[in-house]
Chains A and B, each alone.
Chain A
Amino acid sequence: MQPRFSYRSISRVDTWLNRVYTSRYNPLYHSGAIVIAMLLVLLATGLYLLIYYRIGAPHASVERIDAQLWTGRWIRGLHRFASDAAVVAALVHAFRMYAQRRTWGPRALAWVSGVVLLVVIMVSGWTGYVLVWDTHAQLIAAEGARWLDALPLFSEPIGRSFVGESDLPGGFFFLNLFAHIALPIGMGVLLWVHIARVARPVLLPARPVLWGSIAALTLLAIVWPPPMAPAADLLRVPQNVPVDWFFGFWLPLTIRLPAWGVWLLGVLVLALFAAIPWLTRPRPQELPAPATVDERTCTGCEQCVHDCPYDAIEMIARTGDREGMIARVKTELCTSCGICIGSCPPMAISALGTSARAQLEEARAFLAEETPGERDLVIVGCSWSGARAEAERSGAKFMSVPCIGAMHSSTVEILLRGGAGGVLVAGCPEHDGRTREGVTWTEERLFQGRAADLKPRVDRSRIRLVQATLGEKVLLHESVRAFAAEIDALADANGEIDVVDLCRKAQPAVQEESS
């Protein structure tokens, strides 16, 4: 499957931000986890605000909080800015999922629950703003009432509460406060559903991103606290309202539309957003089949169960004449990421129309056709990376795999044994894996003995793993150049025969294993 335009676009931004933050701390890679971090900040700051808020004197009580220079003012600011950051991070996170084609099939549950989460964040924000009962609140409340009055629900329009005939009853603010607290609690349950199909979800961003973002927002709240708008006056049209555009971006549009138009537009946009898993589902002929396990070869080692990023593989007891356990793919949960191809030591798993055995055959055919020499570098990568373009640019040989996580470590060994001077594996950055943990497991398989591990006899100095986005052409190119120079130096040092000879010596052992 080819990357879409949106992926190329975010990849350009990523390239730039990776240069600034390094790929480990690029905040865009941590967007989902940043939302959770912000929700926790909202919880902590919200508890403080709750102590001082009075439903009987909403605006005056917030003014009192704002007058507490050492505490209330910045806590109120942090509460507001954290909610803004949560909206931004959630939108970035959703866009990344779309761009990486992580939307359809078993991920539809995460997508749809994500849309609901976003709506809940929005509604919860609006109720929060109404609590202040300033001119911003007045705008939001009047608009909300106008929309609700278009529904045949109320015998008397609730908009009548905002005409200035009488003061708003405390019950109105109590209801808002209740919704403002209850909705985030419901969000906990939604979040649980959201990540139910993800194994080992990353719930908090890397520490520097976590504390860095909290520190930045706290500083903003201290240096440039949110303004305190005048109290709502229902007998005046609010002037120069300081709007929070993250929550009120729709105001200039909806205020000019009839209420039914707002509903129509809102429902259409939401339905379109929620339907993306079905709109982006590949056509039947392109739909990758779920992984399958060859029961004759499966040894029941459980490695695929440990590696699957979606908990889509389980061990079941064998039936028939063989005893022990066998892996079974839960097809309804399998996203066909292919990581299990690389995790199976006896090469018993097929996915994405290929298998580790087929990969070894491809590697052999590749060697026969390309005949790489000891000064030649083979770049292994997927079509979502810049590997092919880099191979063309630097004159290296290129071997394609569906995903780096789906590459079996024996493929690297075969390539080296076949005469290649070095193998450079190009994968996506660890915190942004399109297949979540693919590149992480591959690094561990190649260098840290994770099954299915690269055998100790293989010379690690001839292998590199580079994590680069599609746009990180310079990084990839520099890595290829540096590695090529090392390979050259190794060739100079070892003389012509050594590598090929060593590999030939190792041949019988590997042949035995791969059969």
Chain B
Amino acid sequence: MSAAPMNPERGRAVRTRIVRWLAPVLVTAVMTVGIGWLARAPYQPPGSDSATLRLSWRLRAPVAETCRPRTQAELDALPVHMRTPEVCQSRSAAYDLIVQVDARTADTSRVLQGGAKGDRPLFVLKELSLEPGPHHVRVRFASGAGLPAEESVVLALDTVLHMHAGTVDLVTLGPDGRTLIVRQSTQP
């Protein structure tokens, strides 16, 4: 049995029709795959080949308050609803942070209470980028002058950390709120 030869005109019309259907399908497919790829193309953020030492904690630091009674003249000068018997002045100490890595001073800074009026808790937030490997890390955070000795704060850490590329070693306050501890990722 032999197949009847196809009319060349008809053959061309069929081909044109196929191309007419195929072209938009192909172009749509390419655009769609383009969207799919650009919606997931991987990105390597900087910092993945070094280790990070992060220091972060928040502290409601003690405030020294000195009060004295108002004089009669001061009371008279105030509107009735503002005549409190005492005027108080609160003073918080400045804190000094010193970070040493492998006996080299990596950071020293002075930390003050937060907020525009200095009445908010203080916070520390520092990041140091280090070579992966073991590092001897010493941190000291102590209040300067201005507070009674029993209220002064000293936080310290002296440890060797085995640091890995792309990971963060976080120095933060322990659950007791008085010691510095190191946290590392628990994920494998």
Q: Which residues of A contact B (CB under 8 A)?
A: 17, 19-21, 25, 80-81, 84-85, 88, 139, 155-157, 159-160, 163-165, 212-213, 216-217, 219-220, 224, 226-227, 230-231, 233-246, 248, 251-252, 255-256
CB closest chain-B residue, reference A243: B43
Given contact pairs A81-B39, A165-B58, A235-B169, a sample of 7 additional A-B residue pairs in the complex whose CB atoms are under 8 Å apart: A139-B45, A156-B121, A216-B29, A226-B40, A237-B45, A243-B42, A251-B43
Contact partner of A84 among B35, B47, B52, B114, CB < 8 A?
B35
A155 and B23 form a contact (CB under 8 A): no
When the two chains form their complex, are residues B125 and A160 in contact, meaning their CB atoms are under 8 A apart?
yes
In the complex, how many angstroms separate the beta carbon of A229 from the nearest chain B beta carbon?
9
Given A155-B114, A217-B32, answer yes or no on A236-B166 (Cβ-Cβ < 8 Å): yes
B24, B120, B169, B187: the one contacting A20 at CB < 8 Å is B24
Choose among A237, A240, A244 the residue that contacts B167 (Cβ–Cβ < 8 A): A237
Q: Which residue of A lies closest to B123 (CB)?
A: A156
Q: Is B5 an interface residue (CB 8 A)?
A: no
Q: Measured between C-beta atoms, what is the minimum distance from B158 to chain A in Å?
A: 21
Q: How many residues in B have their beta carbons less than 8 Å from beta carbons of A?
A: 43
Residue B136, interface by CB 8 Å: no
Inter-subunit contact B35/A81 (CB<8 Å): yes
The interface residues of chain A lying within 8 Å CB-to-CB of B54 are 163-164
For residue B172, CB closer than 8 A to chain A, the reply is yes
Chain B residue with Cβ nearest A231: B187
Which of B24, B28, B44 interacts with A240 by CB under 8 Å? B44
User: Smallest distance from the beta carbon of A164 to chain B beta carbons, Å?
Assistant: 5
Minimum CB–CB distance from A214 to chain B (whole Å) comes to 11
Task: Convert B26-40 into 0s and 1s, putting 1 for each residue whose CB lies closer than 8 angstroms to a CB of A.
Answer: 011101110110111
B170 close to chain A: CB less than 8 A? yes
In the complex, the answer to whether A242 meets B36 with C-beta atoms within 8 Å is: no
A-B contact pairs, 18 of them (CB 8 A): A81-B35, A159-B125, A160-B58, A163-B54, A164-B56, A165-B56, A165-B172, A220-B33, A220-B35, A226-B39, A235-B167, A236-B168, A237-B52, A240-B43, A241-B45, A243-B41, A243-B42, A255-B46
Nearest-Cβ distance from residue A122 to partner chain B, whole angstroms: 15
Contact of B28 among A81, A212, A235 (CB under 8 A): A212
Nearest to B28 among chain A residues (CB) is A216
Q: Which of A88, A243, A255 has the most CB of B within 10 A?
A: A243
Q: Given the complex of chains A and B, what is the CA–CA distance between A213 and B183 in angstroms?
A: 48
CB pair B185 A88 closer than 8 Å: no
Q: Say which residue of A165, A231, A236, A245 sits within 8 Å of B39 (CB atoms).
A: A245
Distance, CA A224 to CA B29, complexed state (A): 12
| A219 in contact with B32 given A160-B58, A163-B125 (CB within 8 Å) | yes
| Residue among A88, A156, A213 with the highest chain B CB neighbour number at 10 A | A156
Q: A240-B43, A244-B39 are in contact. Are A156 and B32 (CB under 8 A)?
A: no
* Across the A-B interface, the 10 shortest Cβ-Cβ residue pairs: A235-B185, A242-B40, A163-B56, A243-B43, A240-B42, A216-B32, A235-B168, A155-B115, A245-B38, A237-B166
Does A21 contact B57, Cβ atoms closer than 8 Å? no
With contacts A157-B125, A164-B183 known, is A241 near B42, CB below 8 A? Answer: yes
Q: For B120, give its contact among A17, A156, A163, A213 (CB under 8 Å).
A: A156
Q: Does B6 contact A (CB under 8 A)?
A: no
Given contacts A163-B56, A165-B57, contact A235 B170 (CB under 8 A): yes
A297 CB to closest chain B CB (Å) equals 49
In the bound complex, how far is the Cα of B48 from the Cα of A85, in angstroms?
31
A252 to B46, CA, bound (A): 9
B184 on the A face (CB < 8 A)? yes
Measured between C-beta atoms, what is the minimum distance from A427 to chain B in Å? Answer: 24
A217 to B34, CA, bound (A): 11
* Residue in chain A with minimal CB distance to B42: A240
Contacts of B172 in A (CB 8 A): 163, 165
User: Chain B 97-132 against A: per-residue CB contact (8 Å), 1 yes, 0 no?
Assistant: 000000000000000001110001101010000000
Closest residue to A251 on the B side, CB-wise?
B43
**Is the Cβ of B185 less than 8 Å from the Cβ of A242?**
no
A84 engages B58 (CB within 8 Å): no
Q: Complex Cα distance A255/B45, Å?
A: 8
- B185 neighbours in A (Cβ, 8 Å): 164, 233, 235-236
CB neighbours of B40 from chain A (8 A): 226-227, 242-244
> In whole Å, how far is A275's beta carbon from the nearest beta carbon of chain B?
29
Q: Are A164 and B170 in contact (CB under 8 A)?
A: yes
A223 to chain B, nearest CB (A): 9
Q: Known interface pairs A240-B43, A246-B38. Does A233 touch B187 (Cβ–Cβ under 8 Å)?
A: yes
Task: Kindly state the separation between the CA atoms of A468 and B184 in the bound complex, as whole angstroms.
Answer: 65
Residues of A within 8 A of B187 (CB): 230-231, 233, 236
Chain A residues with Cβ below 8 Å from B184 are 235
Which residues of chain B come closer than 8 Å to A242, judged between CB atoms?
40-43
Contacts of A88 in B (CB 8 A): 35
